[in-house]
Amino acid sequence: MEIGRQMVNDLAILLDGRDFFLSDRPTTIDACVFGALANFCFGPVSSPMNAHIRSKPNLVAFMDRVSNQFFPGSERLAA
């Protein structure tokens, strides 16, 4: 659990205030991060990892941004 929390912290730091990790538009890295985090964020079970991800405003915004762009009409974190 602690390794996962640290990975989430590191992702939040890497994303900083940008919309996407490497450029002004999504790349493969963004798809990989989204896919990994989506398992925790959009799953039917609440967990400490889900809560930790939701405590990072820039990751919540990132997840919502990717959802809006590629999966319109799907669940949002900020809502």
Domain ranges of the chain: 2-70
What is the structure's pLDDT at 71? 87
Query: Does the pLDDT of residue 79 top 60, yes or no?
Result: no
What pTM value is reported for the model?
Answer: 0.88
Radius of gyration, alpha carbons of the chain: 12
Helix (H, G, I), strand (E, B) or coil at 58: helix
What is the structure's pLDDT at 50? 93
pLDDT digits over 17-64, tens only?
Answer: 999 999 999 999 999 999 999 988 887 888 999 999 999 999 999 999
Exposed e or buried b per residue across 9-36, where buried means at least 16 C-beta atoms within 10 angstroms of its C-beta? eebbeebeeeebbeeeebeeebeebbee
Tell me how many degrees the CA angle 23-27-33 measures, rounded to the nearest 5: 105
